[in-house]
Chain A
Amino acid sequence: DAKTTQPPSMDCAEGRAANLPCNHSTISGNEYVYWYRQIHSQGPQYIIHGLKNNETNEMASLIITEDRKSSTLILPHATLRDTAVYYCIVRPRYDYKLSFGAGTTVTVRA
């Protein structure tokens, strides 16, 4: 009952923007979009989340389409340390858990 669809892998060049897509066509009105990443053998790290407006913080930007059926995480200037598995998660407001899928393995190349 996966709520999100992400490509299994993608490469990007160091210094360039990395655009990570996520499809969540069955999202409902009270569900947030969250992004986490997991560097190899470490615990996941929170990146950003949003409901319907675009969001930006020091790590990334989150662009959510107007119909909320898809979103894009943007890492503005990818570095080698951004190599990780990136998880897009849809979570209802006040729900108790996050449901992690397989994510997208992002490899940043020099």
Chain B
Amino acid sequence: DGGITQSPKYLFRKEGQNVTLSCEQNLNHDAMYWYRQDPGQGLRLIYYSQIVNDFQKGDIAEGYSVSREKKESFPLTVTSAQKNPTAFYLCASRFQTSAGDETQYFGPGTRLLVL
């Protein structure tokens, strides 16, 4: 999975609980992303960060929060405000050339289940 690690592989959340998903990369990439995938569907962008200490909302940011204190790390917190958190969560980092070509590399994912 190209130097991107996500933990844990499975995570169980109780009602009203906040949980944090870890994402670490050793690829020295500036940009990092969080996506959500529901069964049988494509990926939807939650948050992205193009540089340390900066991040932007994606298409479905409500109920989620992120931080980017280090280049290598981009943790995602699923808050109690997210009413339907059961999904497969994927973290990615982006390699971009000066010509504008880019490739996103994905981690192995974290599957979040609500108890």
What total of chain A residues lie within 8 Å of the partner, measured CB to CB?
A: 19
Q: Which residues of B contact A93 (CB under 8 A)?
A: 100
User: CA A103 – CA B40 in complex, angstroms?
Assistant: 10
Taking chain B's interface residues, is the majority helix, strand, or loop, or is none over half, making it mixed? strand
| B106 contacts A97, C-beta separation under 8 Å | no
Among A42-68, those with CB < 8 Å from B are 42-46, 49
Number of A-B contacts (CB under 8 A): 50
Interface flags, A27-41, vs B, CB<8A=1, else 0: 000001000000001
B109 within 8 A of A: yes
B85 within 8 A of A: no
Contact A103/B42 with A44-B90, A93-B100 known, Cβ cut-off 8 Å: yes
- Please list the residues of chain B having a beta carbon within 8 angstroms of any beta carbon in chain A: 1, 4, 31, 33, 35, 40-45, 48, 50, 56, 58, 88, 90, 92, 100-101, 103-109, 111
